[in-house]
Amino acid sequence: MAAGARAPAPDTLADGTQWAQLTIHERLIIRIPRMPAASRMAMRAPAPVEWRERRGPRCLTMTSLTGAAIGRDGEVDLIVEGAQRVRARLDSQCPTLDFYSGMYLKPTADGKICARRDAIRTRSGGRCAIAQFRKLVAAR
The model's pLDDT over 63-100, given as tens digits with 9 standing for 90+, comes to 898 888 877 666 788 989 888 999 998 887 776 656 66
Sign of the CA dihedral running 103, 106, 111, 112: negative
Percent of the chain clearing pLDDT 70 (strictly above): 69
Q: How far is CA 98 from CA 20, 30, 74, 95, in A?
A: 49, 34, 10, 6
Mean pLDDT for all residues in the chain: 78
Count other Cβ atoms within 10 Å, centred on residue 134: 20
Q: What is the mean pLDDT of residues 21-30?
A: 66
In this structure, are residues 132 and 90 in contact, taking their beta carbons and an 8 Å threshold?
A: no
51 vs 44: which has the higher pLDDT: 51
Torsion of CA 95, 98, 102, 104, to 10 degrees: -60
Q: Which amino acid belongs to residue 120? A: I
pLDDT higher than threshold 80 for residue 51 = yes
The model's pLDDT over 102-122, given as tens digits with 9 standing for 90+, comes to 788 888 899 999 999 998 887
Give ∠ CA 3-9-10 in degrees, rounded to 5.
130
| C-alpha 38: how far from chain center | 35
Length of the chain: 140
Q: Which residues contact 67 (CB under 8 A, 6 or more apart)?
A: 78, 79
The phi, psi pair for 39, rounded to 5°, reads -70, -40
pLDDT-derived band at 59 (thresholds 50, 70, 90) equals very high
